[in-house]
Chains A and B, each alone.
Chain A
Amino acid sequence: MPAAIVAERLTKVYRVKVRDPGLGGAVRALVRPRYREVRAVEEISFQVERGEIVAFLGPNGAGKTTTLKMLTGLLYPTGGRAQVTGFTPWEGGSEFKQRIALVLGNKQQLLWDLPAEETFQLNQAIYAIAPADYRARRDELVELLELSEVVDKPVRQLSLGERMKCELAAALLHQPEILFLDEPTLGLDVTAQEAVRGFLCAYRARHGATILLTSHYMADVTALASRVLIINRGRLLYDGALQALVARMAHTKRLELVLGDGVTRERLAAFGEVREFRFPNAVLEVPRDQATAASARLLASIPVVDLSIQDPAIEDVIRRAFEEGAGE
């Protein structure tokens, strides 16, 4: 079975005009323009199999959205190639666009002044969905996303979470093979985030769609993705299961403490790096191989009410991956 998405050394380089400030600079830019290169995406290669859920993780400006745009045909790469459901995205035309769906977290596609139901019907016509298929899929999506109360109200009256759920429903009516999501949980409250994640898992389980999402939120990744691709400064730093990354990058352990009376931050600092200190709670970071020894010393020397040893927070692991490069 051919892979759903294949990216081979995808590269995107922008030429940006350099403009010196001041009148002289403006004139110079007009007469003899100088350019500098912005290497937004640098030789990214990966493959996604059908039915996988994969997350692109990275800071702002890392190149996640640029890569996404190349995979959906909105941008032409400067180098490399890509195949998505058997098409070259930027050459795929309307046949390709029938097989994919793109949902943007910050740009709404629903008709603002009308109920979501109207956008559904519009999509039915645009994607040429047969009436029987449309009815069945619409009903299933409304049920899975719990939208029955909401589809008849004008979209502008809905909460952000309800709107995103409607966006997802509208995007999936034509049963695309691949769903591209750009920051889908952006700005949503916790309940809505969980609802969206739960839905995506359930949908994938039922229909085997391939899902590729970009995100800032660790929770998106831990709840959804079997695989995470970490991108920073246009380069792919890591491609694999999240647990493996944690294991590789985690040089340290967290000691989460509830302290007894009279323990100051300075006293605690003798045992390791104090990450958090809000009496009586504190978090200490110690090298992985010294964790048990440090714990023993702590318990012997200072009043400790409770102690537990944890893996470092995933955010810290990822951040370290960005800064250091995950290496291969």
Chain B
Amino acid sequence: MNVGRVLRALLRMNVVEELQYRANFVASLLGTVFWIAMALLTLALFFRHTVQLGGWDYWEVVVLLGVFNALTGVIEAVLRPGIGELADEVRSGKLDLVLTRPVDAQLYVSFRRLDLWRLADVAFGLMLAGYALVRVGRLPSLLDLLAFVVTMGSAVAVVYAIWVALMSLAFWLVAVENLSVLFDAVYEAARYPVSAYPGALRFVFVYLVPVAWTTTIPASALTGRLGVATALGAAGVGALALGLTRLLWRAALRRYTSAGG
């Protein structure tokens, strides 16, 4: 066996694979750019008829849009390929394979597959937010940035908790194959500041399925709207959310193993 030949073959194979991923990467990047463009045009349409949306100016809402895209990037890169597969695995019984591994199942399921190319969406979102901040005319202070990091972390924790909660439904509603669609449905509301929604909807998107907070609060940190109390509260909510996922996971696993898998 000619080692050189084997190595060259492996290298060639990897380059081809890389290129294939790169082609998909370009396609998904184009997709992201397209949808950001659509979102900006949507905002432009709204702002043709108003000066403020829930008390936010145009560029402030664009900051929020950037945060939304950054969070979506995290969801696509980490959550959907990982925990998003849980419902399918429960239905097909493949979860058994996961549970026999000598690692913490929740950790494993959540992080085993990362679509790292999608982190480009995160970069895109943050760049958009940064540009919008320049146009707002008020750059965030160091404290603001710290608050942003903390509240973003909390937002990721809350989104993660929502995903775990949704996927746990799969343990009880085994036949439902499109649970992740529920998330997409409700998460659209996070594109706009919470204050933009009228009372009834605000209740749904703030308290029932707390998606609106995941973007409004970090964006508020960047634009200087965030009060200290709310910031601390958000951090607390994030920690609570993580704890909740642990409880949910345990309950779901108990159900899974007791039901015979």
Residues of chain A touching chain B, judged by Cβ–Cβ distance below 8 Å, are 21-23, 26
Contact = CB atoms under 8 A, between A and B. Distances in A.
Given A21-B12, A21-B13, 5 more contacts: A21-B16, A22-B12, A22-B16, A22-B19, A26-B19
A22 B13 CA distance: 9
Contacts of A23: 19
A249 B12 CA distance: 43
Interface in B14-30: 15-16, 19
Interface residues of B, number: 5
Contacts of B15: 21-22
Contacts of B16: 21-22
A23 B15 CA distance: 9
Question: Counting chain B CB atoms within 10 Å of each CB, which of A21, A22, A23, A26 scores highest?
Answer: A21
A242 B13 CA distance: 44
Contacts of A21: 12-13, 15-16, 19
Nearest to B12: A21
B149 to A, nearest CB: 38
A23 B12 CA distance: 11
Contacts of A26: 19
A155 to B, nearest CB: 16
Nearest to A19: B16
A21 B13 CA distance: 8
Nearest to B20: A26
Nearest to A23: B19
Contacts of B19: 21-23, 26
Nearest to A22: B15
Nearest to A26: B19
Nearest to B19: A26
Across the A-B interface, give the 8 residue pairs with the lowest CB-CB distance, nearest first: A21-B16, A21-B12, A22-B15, A21-B15, A26-B19, A23-B19, A22-B19, A22-B12
A281 B15 CA distance: 51
9 contacts: A21-B12, A21-B13, A21-B15, A21-B19, A22-B12, A22-B15, A22-B19, A23-B19, A26-B19
A26 B23 CA distance: 11
Contacts of A22: 12, 15-16, 19
A68 B131 CA distance: 61
A110 B19 CA distance: 39
A22 B19 CA distance: 7
A26 to B, nearest CB: 6
B44 to A, nearest CB: 36
B188 to A, nearest CB: 30
A280 B191 CA distance: 77
A23 B26 CA distance: 14
A130 B242 CA distance: 64
A153 B138 CA distance: 67
A21 B16 CA distance: 6
B93 to A, nearest CB: 14
A23 B19 CA distance: 7
Contacts of B12: 21-22
A203 to B, nearest CB: 35
Nearest to B11: A21
A113 to B, nearest CB: 10
B212 to A, nearest CB: 37
A49 to B, nearest CB: 47
A104 B217 CA distance: 56
B256 to A, nearest CB: 21
A260 B91 CA distance: 55
